[in-house]
Amino acid sequence: MIPINLIVRTWIFSAVLIYVLILSVVHGKNIDKLKQSMVRVSVTSQSYSFVRPWEKKLPKSKRGIGVILEGHLILVTAGLVENATYVELEKLESGEKSPANIITVDYAANLGLIAPVNESFFDNNCKPISTVQKKATVGDRFSVWQFEKNGTPIVGDATLKSVHVEGYPYSRSSLLVFEIKVLLSRLGGSYTLPVLQKGKLVGMMMRHNQGNETMTLVPSPIITHFMADYNDGLYKGFPKAGFGFLKLEDPQTRRYLGISQHDSGVYVDKVQPGSAAFESGLKVGDVLLAIEQYDIDKFGQYEDPEYEKLLLSYLVTTRSFVGDSVEFLILRDKKERVLKLKLKAFNPDEYAIPPYRIDEKPKYTIVGGLVFQELSREYLREWGGNWFTSAPQEFVYLDMNQWDLIPPGKKVVFLSQVLPSEGNIGYHDLRFLQVTKINNMSIERLEDIKKALHKNSNPQHKIEFDDSPRVIYLDARNFELENNTIQERYGISNLTQF
């Protein structure tokens, strides 16, 4: 006779085994379903050289995982498709491929949409995925999706560490990020990976630090804003108010400004000319007390209904859209005032030193072997990830303080290098000099150089800089011949590119 306890143990073991088998089948079906919501994206890109602006750099290949959304669109990060010359999609299960077109890219938000050239690429097996709408809480569990070459998924278990606002890679915009802790077996050169929560999209990988196992995401609220803007028929981008502020922790400063110890507020120390803040009448010296119904504390944070303490920029950039009117409560001359800001889109061309120039040719002109360019952060990035310490420091300083140092509408035109020739002997080592005048005409943008050269009737061109040597001269009589020699010697197809 079989003992009762043995029968019970056998029954329990069988029940557990059946439960595990059922779970594995369900889990396997869920994985197969989610695989149909993602595609491998391979990109060939070729960026322009900002050091030798008449050339392009060598092509390079990038790979990532895109997420299929409603409307036959695929969401990727902007970093994956920047300077793309060819984009190809590949189904993870069948390996079927299709070239793709880039539909729209927002580098400020680091997001992009692509679509297959062949509409038949989307069949009944391709399942759109939706974005998480509920708030995320520290401690939430996510899954990071990677795939082997044969389509086998590698799902990394992740935990949400923090929700905060920080600067995005391409722009000066501070937007929301999710920071998660995840141990990945490998990244395999992926430029973007989807992160899911219960089968819904919670974010796209923006960067990953293998050392401390930390991944930063473009999170679901940014993705939702991006898609809502796109789906209304005209993508305008994320808004930007256009002001900077200082914390008001010092009690003496608060007392001087007429703010009690317990009041809120930050000190406005910069206002970008032409911005929404500028047009509303916001001034340096104002104290910003509140945005809409949200009080701003002395650290520049407010109590967000979803994410608790967040930097005030989230109210402007993500909880609002381009064209919205937002109320600012300020203190000026110890009296409260209300300003209304009509929010504008972030536009890199409005900056004296644009934060990025991607998918477009750099501007330059070469005269007598002297290479003149307009300064952009893209040029500074040629010094690598630590450009803020390794790039020419006078230019880094200008970039960081451009609202204060550079008049509205003016660009920074500079001599980047000299291509040696007989006509510029003695100047071969000159570089990184800001041009102030040519032939006594002020230079405010690159196009002014051509005007200044053409109007000169003297036998020499006079070029003035902001630093030593303050003035140099070039022979104007043999200028055309010298330019032709430079062009032929260095194999430059165009001496000017605006």
On whether both 67 and 204 belong to a single domain, the answer is yes
Per-residue DSSP letter, 60: E
Q: CA-CA distances (angstroms) from residue 6 to 3, 14, 18, 20, 49?
A: 5, 12, 18, 21, 75
Identify the CATH number of the domain in which residue 414 sits: 3.20.190.20
On whether both 139 and 246 belong to a single domain, the answer is no
Domain that holds residue 260: 239-345
Here the tokens at position 230 are 């796109």
On whether both 45 and 138 belong to a single domain, the answer is yes
Identify the CATH number of the domain in which residue 305 sits: 2.30.42.10
250-284 pLDDT, tens digit each: 888 888 888 876 678 999 999 998 999 999 999 99
> Above 60 in pLDDT, residue 26?
no
Centre a 10 Å sphere on the Cβ of residue 408 and count the other Cβ atoms it contains. 11
Cα 364 to Cα 2: distance, rounded to the nearest angstrom = 91
Residue type, 317: T
pLDDT of residue 209: 86
On whether both 74 and 171 belong to a single domain, the answer is yes
On whether both 412 and 338 belong to a single domain, the answer is no
Cα 452 to Cα 79: distance, rounded to the nearest angstrom = 39
pLDDT of residue 196: 97
410-467 pLDDT, tens digit each: 999 999 999 999 999 999 999 999 999 999 999 999 999 999 999 888 999 999 999 9
Domain boundary among 324, 345, 366: 345
Q: How many CA within 13 A on the CB side of residue 325?
A: 4
In a domain, residue 2? The reply is: no
Q: Would you call the peptide bond into 408 cis, given omega within 30 degrees of 0 as the criterion?
A: no
71-95 pLDDT, tens digit each: 889 999 999 999 999 999 999 888 8
On whether both 108 and 207 belong to a single domain, the answer is yes
On whether both 381 and 487 belong to a single domain, the answer is yes
On whether both 217 and 258 belong to a single domain, the answer is no
CA angle 250, 251, 252 (to 5 degrees): 95
On whether both 409 and 338 belong to a single domain, the answer is no
On whether both 185 and 201 belong to a single domain, the answer is yes
On whether both 333 and 356 belong to a single domain, the answer is no
Concatenating the DSSP letter of every residue in 26-53 gives HHHHHHHHHHTTEEEEEEEE-PBPSSST
Query: What's the domain count of the chain?
Result: 3
* pLDDT, mean over the chain: 90
> Above 90 in pLDDT, residue 191?
no
In a domain, residue 453? The reply is: yes
